[in-house]
Amino acid sequence: MKWVTRVSGIVVGVDRSEPSERAVRFAAALAKRDGTGLTVVHVIPWSPYSFNTPSENEERHRRRDEEIAAATEQVIAPAKAAAEEEGVEPETVVRHGDPVDLIIEETEKRGCDLIVMGRSGDSRVKRAIFGSYPAHLVQEAPVPVVVIP
């Protein structure tokens, strides 16, 4: 494994937490330092494994577009503004699916060599039972992952 001293692309996974905002600012400062691209990614957890009637599936897809619009306004816009305050114009992505899988997919698609993410804000009990996205990402990612407290 090569040790990264300068990055050639960064993906930062975001939600609406304070650690997420710190992660964006950290990633943006690093992207600015290295003159590289920054992609801000928000993934809305979504499972294709559900048993729905045709009308429920239609409603689900309508809600999906609404969720993407809401996430763009409530999560992506503030993260983009934070990156811009640091002097970086990021790409932005909002998708439905498994957060770990899609953050890795976006990282590989863009040829990035670093993922940055804020620590989970979940309760200790929830983390103990289900784990956290940052912890899963550290286990699965093909590139280094920085978790911001």
Give the pLDDT confidence score for residue 127 in this predicted structure. 43
| C-alpha separations of 104 from 11, 13, 34, 77 in Å | 9, 10, 21, 22
**pLDDT greater than 70 at residue 31:** yes
Higher pLDDT among residues 66 and 82, named by residue: 82
d(CA 83, CA 75): 13
Give per-residue pLDDT as tens, 72-103: 999 999 999 999 999 999 999 999 989 999 99
- Percentage of residues of the chain with pLDDT beyond 90: 62
d(CA 146, CA 97): 22
Please answer whether residues 15 and 75 qualify as being in contact, where contact means their C-beta atoms are separated by less than 8 angstroms. yes
Q: Report the CATH fold assignment for 10-148.
A: Rossmann fold (3.40.50)
Looking at 25-34, 60-69, 91-100, which range is the least confident one? Answer: 60-69
Give per-residue pLDDT as tens, 71-80: 999 999 999 9
Give per-residue pLDDT as tens, 108-140: 999 999 999 998 755 444 444 445 788 889 899
Please answer whether residues 80 and 28 qualify as being in contact, where contact means their C-beta atoms are separated by less than 8 angstroms. no
Give the pLDDT confidence score for residue 56 in this predicted structure. 74
Domain boundaries, the chain: 10-148
Give the pLDDT confidence score for residue 130 in this predicted structure. 43
Give the pLDDT confidence score for residue 1 in this predicted structure. 44
Q: Record the pTM.
A: 0.84
